[in-house]
Amino acid sequence: MIPLEDNVGDIIGKAQRGLGISDSKLAEKARVNSEAIRKLRDGDFDEPALLNVAPILGLNGQALCELAKSEWHPEKIEAEGLAQFNTDYHGMAVNAYLAWNPASRAAVAFDTGADSNEMVRFANRHKLNVQLILLTHAHADHVADLPRLREETGAEVFTPAREPVPGAEPIEEGKQFRLGNLQIDTRLTWGHSPGGMTYVVTGLARPIAIVGDSLFAGSMGGGNVSYRDALRNNLEKILTLPEETIICPGHGPMTTVGEEKVHNPFFAGKI
């Protein structure tokens, strides 16, 4: 089982940085001392302090406590026409994905991870014809093995226009791709990075959203470019998809829209 990408301390830290709230200001507003804030970020579970801090940071206290108690992890997801590949990039686990048309075996790769060998072997073993490589964003851990994956597959490569990558054709929000009965729509979900793109795949048994670092199971990517836009884009462009939609994040386990609407502290109770 792939562990969650973020713990409660990570989540609090991301919200603090995104909102520009210092330890002292958060302590004052939440009516706890600064030492309690530091302990929460270090992973010490203090339920009253956590419940006081959560609303100041726009987080759902119940979902935070649930994570702190390790009471929730998304159910393992297996879906025909979808495979996840988890590789190590300088000590950090990163995901890449394949989706394919089970009838024609035409396939699309999403990102490359640190090493595309397993993805290529899987495609060869299952007689998949990888025709497209779609990049969610240009951070190094997601495109590290692009030259080799492109050479091995001969696939066309596309990247968000706001995040150019050598050898990849830039695309804007609204671009559509089709592989047999699969349709792939693009939604700009920037905020973590300048041009983060979510790819929504329909035509399989369940819709799929490959979200890069926009959203994680129980968390989200840091709003490095714009925290508020990251929150808004996740709410409006990912969590409005059907609840059964499988969310494929750049780090951590796969999850669903329905699970995130209930269990993600950044979004629970907001939609």
Q: How far apart are CA 76 and CA 69, in angstroms?
A: 19
- For strand 92-100 and strand 106-110, is the pairing parallel, antiparallel, or unpaired? antiparallel
Q: Which domains does the chain have, with CATH numbers?
A: 8-68 (1.10.260.40), 82-263 (3.60.15.10)
User: CB count, 10 Å around CB of 237?
Assistant: 19
d(CA 206, CA 9): 33
Q: Do 39 and 55 touch, CB atoms closer than 8 A?
A: no
Q: Per-residue confidence of the chain (271 residues) as pLDDT tens digits? A: 899 999 999 999 999 999 999 999 999 999 999 899 999 989 898 999 999 999 999 999 999 999 999 999 999 999 999 999 999 999 999 999 999 999 999 999 999 999 999 999 999 999 999 999 999 999 999 999 999 999 999 999 999 999 999 999 999 999 999 998 999 999 999 999 999 999 999 999 999 999 999 999 999 999 999 999 999 999 999 999 999 999 999 999 999 999 999 999 999 999 8
Tokens 């990102």: give the residue.
111
DSSP track, 154-181: --EEEEETTS--TT-EEE-TT-EEEETT
Per-residue pLDDT at 43 = 87
In this structure, the chain runs to a length of 271
Alpha-carbon dihedral sign for residues 64, 70, 71, 76:
positive
Report the distance separating Cα 249 and Cα 10, nearest Å. 17
Decide: pTM greater than 0.85: yes
Q: Which two three-digit tokens encode residue 101?
A: 């048309």
CA distance 4 to 215: 12
Using a 10 angstrom Cβ sphere, with 0-12 exposed, 13-18 middle and 19 or more buried, the burial of residue 43 is exposed
